[in-house]
């Protein structure tokens, strides 16, 4: 009790006026003490003191409620529920927005956006993923069930009314007509680690396939360099976002070579935030948030090609090789240590 009264007296300098109502307060204030993060080395006095007004409760219960472990339809790269909600917050997703994911996968970002009342849609080049066909990623289950798809995921959480559609499409070749605009674009582009980076092939390659008479749901695909993925993504966002709309995406980074200069830019998009998530000792990925600040014009279409400053972005193309070189070195080190 003595300590409590000491805190109250310590805050007497604050210009608070009026009566105190502990049962139905208009404002709630918190006094927090920070004793560090080491439970085995707690200091006698707090390292920091914080005083502030309570704004709102958090929504960490959503992480468990939308856990991927209990989701109806999942894949190798299904986005963690916590990260999906963080991306939706960065995108300022709100009721009646239209949110698009050009690399939709199993639709984790659509679920998070729909939870906040946005109408959602997406595209993906993988026919089997879009239609819920083929092998499953679940343990002790070989093939996907008859109703394992993105729409079923939204239905699982009572969000099916917010589902617009998901199409099989190549992100390098936009299918939208002029004037179509999204309030937010949230996506996790493929890095070539767990999912291949590919796009539909050239006309010459297509002709060869036609001559052989090959029948397939998907056109022949060719390698899609990560730098090209990023260029196409920013160009698409610049053209199809509303003014004030946001692009939120993950950028894989080889940490020894990272500088601010390798973050892709576009004259129509303003960089809002850059948050790092460490993946390993030598790799990480950055959550990049950009906001559209000017209308897209014809001269902006190839701005990434004309500007010499975009040359450093080509280093993204070797991320996969650098990622696995680090894995190989780590395995070799572990084997060497085990032999000792």
**Which CA distances in Å does 21 have to 1, 27, 30, 278?**
19, 9, 15, 46
Instruction: With H, G, I as helix, E, B as strand and everything else as coil, classify residue 330.
Output: helix
156-170 pLDDT, tens digit per residue, is 999 999 999 999 998
Q: Which two tokens stand for residue 166?
A: 């998901």
- Could you give the CA distance from residue 331 to residue 329 in angstroms, rounded to a whole number? 5
Contacts of 185 (CB under 8 A, 6+ apart): 91, 99, 100, 101, 102, 233, 236, 237, 240, 241, 245, 246, 247, 248, 249
Place of tokens 């079923």: 152
CA-based nearest residue to 274, from 257, 256, 293, 261: 261
Place of tokens 């963080």: 86
The pLDDT value recorded for residue 81 is 96
275-292 pLDDT, tens digit per residue, is 999 988 888 999 999 999
Instruction: With H, G, I as helix, E, B as strand and everything else as coil, classify residue 142.
Output: coil
CA-based nearest residue to 78, from 53, 46, 103: 103
Mean pLDDT by 10 residues, the chain (340 residues): 72 82 89 88 91 89 93 88 97 98 95 98 91 79 84 96 95 83 95 57 49 47 78 93 97 88 91 94 92 88 57 57 61 59
Return phi, psi of residue 184, to 5°. Answer: -155, 145
The pLDDT value recorded for residue 235 is 92
The pLDDT value recorded for residue 215 is 44
69-113 pLDDT, tens digit per residue, is 999 888 888 999 999 999 999 999 999 999 999 999 999 999 999
β-pair partners for 249: 187, 288
| Contact by Cβ (8 Å): 189, 253 | no
pTM of the model: 0.76
């Amino acid at each position: 009790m003595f300590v409590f009264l000491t805190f109250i007296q310590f805050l007497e300098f604050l210009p608070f006026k009026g009566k105190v109502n502990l049962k139905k307060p208009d404002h709630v204030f918190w006094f927090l003490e920070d004793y560090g993060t080491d439970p085995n080395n707690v200091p006698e006095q707090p390292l920091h003191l914080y005083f502030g007004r309570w704004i709102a409760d958090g929504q960490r219960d959503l992480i468990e409620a939308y856990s991927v472990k209990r989701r109806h339809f999942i894949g190798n790269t299904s986005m963690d529920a916590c990260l999906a909600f963080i991306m939706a917050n960065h995108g300022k997703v709100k009721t009646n927005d239209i949110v698009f994911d050009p690399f939709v996968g199993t639709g984790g970002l659509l679920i998070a956006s729909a939870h906040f009342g946005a109408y959602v849609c997406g595209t993906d080049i993988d026919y089997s993923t879009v239609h819920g066909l083929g092998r499953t990623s679940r343990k002790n289950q070989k093939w996907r069930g008859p109703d394992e798809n993105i729409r079923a995921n939204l239905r699982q959480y009572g969000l099916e009314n917010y589902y617009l559609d998901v199409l099989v499409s190549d992100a390098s070749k936009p299918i939208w007509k002029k004037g179509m605009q999204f309030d937010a674009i949230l996506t996790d582009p493929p890095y070539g680690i767990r999912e291949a980076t590919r796009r539909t092939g050239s006309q010459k390659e297509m002709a060869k396939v036609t001559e052989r008479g090959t029948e397939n749901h998907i056109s022949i695909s060719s390698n899609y360099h990560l730098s090209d993925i990023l260029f196409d993504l920013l160009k698409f966002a610049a053209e199809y976002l509303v003014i004030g709309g946001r692009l939120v995406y993950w950028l894989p980074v080889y940490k020894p070579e990272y500088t601010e200069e390798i973050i892709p830019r576009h004259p129509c998009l303003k960089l809002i935030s850059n948050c790092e998530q460490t993946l390993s000792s030598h790799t990480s990925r950055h959550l990049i948030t950009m906001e559209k600040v000017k209308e897209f014009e014809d001269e902006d279409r190839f701005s990434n090609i004309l500007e010499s400053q975009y040359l450093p972005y080509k280093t993204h193309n070797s991320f996969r090789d650098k990622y696995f070189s680090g894995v190989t070195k780590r395995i070799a080190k572990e084997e060497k240590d085990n032999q000792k």
